[in-house]
Amino acid sequence: ELKVEQNPLFLSMQEGKNYTIYCNYSTTSDRLYWYRQDPGKSLESLFVLLSNGAVKQEGRLMASLDTKARLSTLHITAAVHDLSATYFCAVYYWNQFYFGTGTSLTVIP
Amino acid sequence: DGGITQSPKYLFRKEGQNVTLSCEQNLNHDAMYWYRQDPGQGLRLIYYSQIVNDFQKGDIAEGYSVSREKKESFPLTVTSAQKNPTAFYLCASSTIDRYTEAFFGQGTRLTVV
């Protein structure tokens, strides 16, 4: 059974600080996705990573993929309150998207 | 505008009643998926379909049924056999090529009353 694990599950950080969310998965896949979910809302696509070494950046968020280590990271730079949300990583394997448990991020002023 | 439309946004079900959640997409995607999300939890796959008239069970298919009679539509029925159906239901669609990506509808919040 494929497992996708995120850590931390909960993250409280101060505005202006940097932090990294980790996503480990248990099988070979070179397709990794990051999504954002606001309370009561659906999932919004953030990044699509389709090869080993892929790095993508949008604003204060940067995602990377290391397929050999089966690890993706989502790095937050100089956090602002608007980034408060739950972040999910997902792996595509055998016609399915497998989602991590989610990381609930709260940015404190 | 291309996208995925789920309806209704909110749904209330009485004990012992079957209800059907609608999911329609105009993205010309081959694959469609249904996920269940409980409060503070991740997404669990109920059913998925890669082609019309074919679908596969996910991790928590018991108490649910689906059909895929048209490429654009993938309705989910929550049957009375599902004992704890209160949850947020998300429909998604994707291509089935190398560059696949899941796109989500706005969700249906189902509550048992």
**Partner residue opposite B42 with nearest CB, options A42, A92, A102:** A102
Q: Is B81 in CB contact (< 8 Å) with chain A?
A: no
Q: Which amino acid is at B95?
A: T
> Which of A37, A43, A44 is most worth mutating to test chain B (most B CB atoms within 10 A of its CB)?
A43
pLDDT of residue A96: 93
CB neighbour class for A109 (10 Å; exposed up to 12, middle 13-18, buried from 19): exposed
Tell whether the model's pLDDT for residue B113 goes beyond 90: no
Number of other residues whose CB lies within 10 A of the CB of residue A47: 23
- pLDDT > 90 in chain B, percent: 85
Q: pLDDT tens digit string along B50-85?
A: 999 999 999 999 999 999 999 999 999 999 989 899
Tell whether the model's pLDDT for residue A69 goes beyond 90: yes
Lowest mean pLDDT of A74-83, B49-58, B91-100, name the range. B91-100
Q: Which residues of B touch A45 (CB under 8 A)?
A: 101-103
Rg (CA), chain A: 13
**Residue B31's beta-bridge partner residues?**
B94
C-alpha span between B24 and A47 (Å, rounded):
24
Contact between chains at B102 and A97 (C-beta distance less than 8 A): yes
Tell whether the model's pLDDT for residue B15 goes beyond 90: no
Number of other residues whose CB lies within 10 A of the CB of residue A16: 11
C-alpha span between A32 and A46 (Å, rounded):
11
Contact between chains at B58 and A43 (C-beta distance less than 8 A): no
Q: Which alpha helices (H) appear in chain A, and where do they start and end?
A: none
User: Residues 6 or more apart from B98 whose CB is under 8 A from it?
Assistant: A50
Q: Is A7 in CB contact (< 8 Å) with chain B?
A: no
